[in-house]
Amino acid sequence: MFIGREPETQFLEELSSSGKPELFVLYGRRRVGKTELLQQFCRGRRAVYFLAAQVREKDNLRAFRDALQEGIDDPLAGSVEFPDWTAALNFVAERARDERLVVVLDEFPYLCESTKGLPSQLQRFWDTRGKASKLMLVLCGSQVSFMENEVLAERSPLFGRRTAQRRLEPLSPESVLPFFPKWSMRDRVLAYAILGGMPAYLRRFDDSRSLFENVARECLRPEGYLFDEVQFLLRSELSNPATYNSLLAAIARGSEKVGDIALDVDVARAAARRARRAAHRSRSVALATRYVPRRGSLPRLPFQAHPAAYQPDPRRPRRTRARGVHPARRRALVRPSAPCVHRRALARTSRRARRR
Ligand SMILES: Nc1ncnc2c1ncn2[C@@H]1O[C@H](COP(=O)(O)OP(=O)(O)OP(=O)(O)O)[C@@H](O)[C@H]1O
Ligand SMILES: [Mg+2]
């Protein structure tokens, strides 16, 4: 059962029918549904879906040949032995000379691990053969940091070659509702509040049991699928998860602003800087989200009505204490308030008057 993803599917359809060579980069955190989306898209099309593994280059090339054989009706595809990825890509470009051929390389970071310099090979291929063919090449990966730094960043050989990119986000709330048709609307909304829009997590919940039972089984039992998921995600994406654990703990304790989180994690300046960077990184791994109130959305009521929201933080150094405070209140904090100015002016005039 494939649910939601209408905008993404439509976008892929548009790319596929553009009539031009396309190099599309799809990435997103683990379990968000990349593979499922791409497999759905390949169904019923002239397409080769290849899932790379953490094995030697030769084994991945062999597996690619098998995927080719499955995907396109070509007697040569089964017998050919590719010496390297340039040869394999030239083969598919040849098959895409007159007719659109979609080639998906899923878990692209694994391919790069087994073949050093693959992005450069790919760049050379694209500049010479790829962009003269009717190929739609999709590079897909779960390691967000790798995809952003090694594939999309300016220093990557592939920079400027991609014709489109998309970071796949969790499903929208309305797409989550059909996962649990047997539950009341209240329970479905609660399930979304607990699991977010992650299809892999949503699939673990079974609507033939109650919501409470599902939470007990999947989240709270040590054997449950979600019991250790945060640790698993941190370990798979980051080399040193310790700081990130502290960060998440700080957020759970109620620190909301980046500065507060940094203070909570460690007060030393260098550590605070590191923690800020880490907070940014956690957002990129989608473990934490940053909400910034829009200017217009600040309440117009007097601040006294919102003491909790706009109080300066006494733990901060004096210079930055008023940061995050409502602008009007900050003015009052950094400059002497109007009555105060008035009092000083009065004092000055009366001193002068006395001198005279
Ligand atoms: N739109 C969807 N509707 C229903 N189930 C989905 C949907 N998308 C994904 N799933 C299910 O969620 C699970 C995880 O999806 P998938 O394997 O595609 O994620 P992924 O992003 O490729 O993960 P990874 O990065 O670990 O490879 C699978 O069981 C899949 O069937
Ligand atoms: Mg996948």
Helices 258-265 and 242-253 pack at an angle, to 10 degrees, of: 120
Q: What phi, psi does 167 have (nearest 5°)?
A: -95, 120
E strands within the chain?
22-27, 47-51, 101-106, 135-141, 164-167
What would the pLDDT profile of 65-92 be if each residue is shown by its tens digit? 999 988 887 777 778 889 999 999 999 9
Q: Using CA positions, which residue lies closest to atom 25 of ligand 1?
A: 30
Under the banding of pLDDT at 50, 70 and 90, the label for residue 206 is: very high
Burial class (CB in 10 A: 0-12, 13-18, 19+), 44: exposed
- Residue pair 103/92 in contact (Cβ under 8 Å)? The answer is yes
What pLDDT was estimated at residue 300? 45
Mean pLDDT of 210-233: 91
* Rounded to 5°, angle at Cα 60 from 86 and 107: 95
User: Could you give phi then psi for residue 137, rounded to 5 degrees?
Assistant: -100, 125
Q: What are 231's two structure tokens?
A: 């640790």
Average pLDDT over residues 165-184: 93
Q: Which two tokens stand for residue 2?
A: 């494939």
100 with 92: CB under 8 angstroms?
no
- For the residues 103-122, what does the mean pLDDT come to? 91
Q: 295: closest CA among 268, 250, 338, 326?
A: 326
The confidence score (pLDDT) of residue 176 equals: 93
pLDDT above 90 covers a percentage of the chain that reads 44
The alpha carbon of 219 and the centre of ligand 1 are apart by a number of angstroms equal to 19
In DSSP terms, which residues pair with 136 in a beta bridge? Answer: 22, 102
Cα–Cα distance, 242 to 257 (Å, whole number): 20
Nearest ligand to the C-alpha of residue 39? 1
User: Which tokens hold the place of 313?
Assistant: 């933080």
Cα 116 to ligand 1 centroid, rounded to whole Å: 28
Q: What confidence tens digit (pLDDT) does each residue in 122-137 have?
A: 999 999 998 899 999 9
Q: What is the mean pLDDT of residues 43-58?
A: 93
Q: Is 259 in the pocket of ligand 1 (CB under 6 A)?
A: no
pLDDT number for residue 302 = 40
Distant-in-sequence, close-in-space partners of 11: CB < 8 Å, separation ≥ 6: 164, 166
Residue of 12, 35, 50 to mutate, ligand 1, most atoms within 8 A of C-beta:
35
**Which of 75-79, 265-269, 279-283, 351-355 is the most confident on average?**
75-79
Cα-to-centroid distance, 5 and ligand 1 (Å): 11
Burial of 32 (0-12, 13-18, 19+ CB in 10 A): buried
pLDDT of residue 331 exceeding 60:
no
- CA dist 112 → 51, 59, 233 (Å): 13, 13, 21
